[in-house]
Amino acid sequence: MSPERRLRLLERVTAAFAAEIDQRDPGAVVPWSGWPDVRALVGHLGGVHDWAAQVLRTGERATEPIDVPAPAAGARAWYLEQRSALLDAIRSVPPGASCWVFTGTDRTAGFWRRRMLFETAKHLSDLRASGGGVWRGVPELGVDGSADGIDELFEVFLARSRTGLADLPAPVLLEASDSRRRWAVRPDWAVRDDVEVPGASIVRACAADLALFVWDRADPLTDPDRFEVIGDRATIAAFRDAPIHA
């Protein structure tokens, strides 16, 4: 996916996040242990936007944000300020410019377009699930954007945590039912794209739901209406429970 396409998607999902804020009770529970309610979630994402903007403006590491809840009044306006600062910083730096990143091999400013896109998409799903809802895919991403979110998870977070993960009992194959994309994850957590692996346990769903699965926001073993599971369920459970984001 091109840097320009990622920027357009980032503009879209951050605008969608802002639009949802006033539709939610600030105290509504978010179904994720890191953020107890909507106000905390908005504060988290706005703080991450500010941090990434600082990194982009200097090209150097910035002090990591401390989660502080968004203002009790005017949370949407506050978030829009952080969004504007992030987008201004992204537009001011060529995507190929050298820049500090926290992991991975892409050490350019373009890393942050992609990282902020999927950080926001994930939390847009959280916001929409607040107050007793359920996690759903992010339609603003489209099929290609959801697939890129899976790629990013493997390339950025799995690359960092892989050496500390226990081997899987068997390979896992993720298959997107709405595209030709497949991700084969071997027992040692090496990932290959668009290959079949003998003996693999298969998880098949649309790309948006597969993204939720790798983002720890959907469970194929308990949601047969959205996921088809073929093979060893214990292997899928081991994949699900692995601390890839650690």
- Tens of pLDDT along 178-201? 998 999 999 999 999 867 788 999
Q: Where are the domains of the chain?
A: 3-134, 147-241
Nearest to 23 by CA among 130, 177, 118: 130
CATH fold of 147-241 reads: Nonspecific Lipid-transfer Protein; Chain A (3.30.1050)
The beta strands (E) that lie in the chain are given as 172-176, 182-185, 191-193, 201-205, 228-230
For residue 161, pLDDT beyond 70: yes
Q: How many CA atoms lie within 13 A of 185 on its CB side?
A: 28
Q: Strand pairing partners for 201?
A: 172
pLDDT computed for residue 194 by the predictor: 66
Report pLDDT digits (tens) over 55-89: 999 999 999 888 899 998 999 999 999 999 999 99
Dist CA 159 CA 103 (whole Å): 8
Residue recorded with tokens 């990143």: 101
Answer for the pair 129, 146: CB distance below 8 angstroms, yes or no.
no
Nearest to 180 by CA among 201, 198, 196: 196
Dist CA 153 CA 244 (whole Å): 9
Q: Which CATH number is associated with domain 3-134?
A: 1.20.120.450
Nearest to 200 by CA among 231, 224, 223: 231
Mean pLDDT, to the nearest integer, of 137-159?
96
Mean pLDDT, to the nearest integer, of 214-241?
97
How big is the CA angle at 116 (ends 75 and 138), to the nearest 5 degrees?
80
For residue 246, pLDDT beyond 80: no
pLDDT computed for residue 21 by the predictor: 97
Report pLDDT digits (tens) over 100-141: 999 877 899 999 999 999 999 999 999 999 999 999 999 999
pLDDT computed for residue 106 by the predictor: 86
The answer to whether domain 3-134 and domain 147-241 are alike in fold is: no
